[in-house]
Amino acid sequence: MPFGSVTNKQIERVYTMLKSMTGFGRYETISEKRKLVVEIKSVNHRYSDISVRLPKKLSFLESGIRAQLKEYISRGKVDVSILYEDYMEGKACVNYNEKLALDYWDNLNKLSRSLMLENDVTISDLARYPDVFTLEEQQVDEDKISELLKEGVEEAAKRFVESRLAEGEHLKQDIYTKTELLLELIGFIEERYPKMLRDYRDKLTNKIQEVLGDKQVDEAVLATELIIYADKVCVDEETVRLRSHIQNLRSTMEHGENIGRKLDFITQEMNREANTILSKANDIEVSNKAIDLKTEIEKIREQIQNIE
């Protein structure tokens, strides 16, 4: 969505979308008088770390640039590079003091009449008289430069945010895909649980029959053992909480703004549930799926480290 073609309200909405901490934005303008290039790039960082490089003569603008960028950036290690060249700098303009030149000329004429001598002073001679012509260096217009840099930084920042939004959309889609796989793994574990109980019942029944021979298996004892086993391997609470965390993760991603830390916390909770499922697993297939759960959650967490 090009910023140049949207309203302020649309821009505000864009800034609440999910953004990556990796981004790049560049703005350049060149005229007969000056050249301005602003580049902004960023990588992951736990906090906001903005570094500004600009010409020494413009260092008085650094604090304003930092404050301006904070409207666009909340997290990430951000490097801002500003190149400014003023082609008019150092050039001088010629000032002609007409009043002084006329005073010189009037007085020369008076001198000529009083001495009864011809006034042979030429224009070239008069131009050499003190202060008729003076050279004056053009003064730096700090307000003008400040305004130019403010516009340049803003345009670069908008393009920078656009790149973060594009990368953020890729991250969101990838995380959604991974959560779909998590839900499939959870579904398998939930479906596997009743079969685990049946397998354990059959295994326990066979063992008892081996020990007792043809004697009838005490159903009460068998039921007690099954209850103990079921309680030991039951992961209903963990899978329910894991589904809830996934839903919370997805919902949080839709809010978009400054959510990286919250998403990281949610994945920590998801990993805790996966660890519990793995510790309770008394079945090779459930163990494998629990390991897959942990692997995918870690992949999600790695992606979340890139989110602002």
What CATH number is associated with residue 46?
3.30.230
Average pLDDT taken over every residue of the chain: 82
Domain shared by 72 and 96, yes or no:
no
Say whether both 251 and 171 belong to one domain: yes
Residue 182 has pLDDT above 80, yes or no: yes
Q: How far apart are CA 172 and CA 254, in angstroms?
A: 9
Q: Which residue has the higher pLDDT, 207 or 44?
A: 44
Query: Residue 26's closest CA among 157, 214, 198?
Result: 157
- List 36's β-bridge partners, or say none: 29, 84
Total count of domains within the chain: 3
CB 41 within 8 A of CB 78: yes
Mean pLDDT of 68-90: 86
Q: What is the pLDDT of residue 154?
A: 94
Q: Estimate to the nearest angstrom the gap between the alpha carbon of 192 and the chain centroid.
A: 42
Q: Residue 250: which pLDDT band, with cuts at 50, 70 and 90?
A: very high
Whether 126 and 196 map to the same domain: the answer is: no
pLDDT confidence bin for 82, thresholds 50/70/90: very high
Structure-token pair, residue 79 = 């490097």
Residues 269 and 190 in one domain: yes
Domain with 50, as residue range(s), is 3-89+142-164
Average confidence (pLDDT) over 232-250? 87
| Residue 1 pLDDT | 36
Q: How far from 25 is each of 17, 79, 193, 280, 305, CA to CA, in Å?
A: 18, 11, 52, 50, 21
Half-sphere exposure of 103 (CA within 13 A, CB side): 8
How far is C-alpha 242 from the geometric centre of its chain's CA atoms?
Answer: 28
Same domain? For 85 and 9 the reply is yes
pLDDT tens-digit readout, 118-161 = 888 888 888 888 988 887 665 667 788 889 999 999 999 999 99
Same domain, 83 and 100: no
Same domain, 60 and 176: no
Cβ atoms within 10 Å, residue 10:
12
> At residue 234, does pLDDT exceed 80?
no
Convert the chain into a string of H (helix), E (strand) and C (coil): CCHHHCCHHHHHHHCCCCCECCEEEEEEEECCCEEEEEEEEEECCCCEEEEEECCHHHHHHHHHHHHHHCCCCCCEEEEEEEEEEECCCCCEEEEECHHHHHHHHHHHHHHHHHHCCCCCCCHHHHHCCCCCEEEEECCCCHHHHHHHHHHHHHHHHHHHHHHHHHHHHHHHHHHHHHHHHHHHHHHHHHHHHHHHHHHHHHHHHHHHHHHHCCCCCCHHHHHHHHHHHHHHHCCHHHHHHHHHHHHHHHHHHHHCCCCHHHHHHHHHHHHHHHHHHHHHCCCHHHHHHHHHHHHHHHHHHHHHCCEC
Give the other-Cβ count within 10 Å of 44's Cβ: 15
**Do residues 122 and 180 share a domain?**
no
Looking at 108, 129, 164, the residue that finishes a domain is: 164
Tens of pLDDT, residue by residue over 52-66, are 999 888 888 999 999
Is the domain of 73 the same as that of 184?
no
Please check whether residues 52 and 108 belong to one and the same domain.
no
In this structure, the answer to whether residues 226 and 299 fall within a common structural domain is: yes
> Among 169-178, 223-232, 275-284, which stretch is predicted with the lowest mean pLDDT?
223-232
Is the separation of the CB atoms in 233 and 192 below 8 Å? no
Torsion sign (Cα): 153, 159, 161, 167: negative
Q: What is the pTM of this model?
A: 0.66
* pLDDT (tens digit per residue) in 11-47: 444 445 788 999 999 999 988 888 999 999 999 888 8
What pLDDT is stored for residue 219 in this prediction?
A: 63
Are 85 and 183 found together in one domain? no
The share of the chain scoring above pLDDT 90, in percent, equals 42
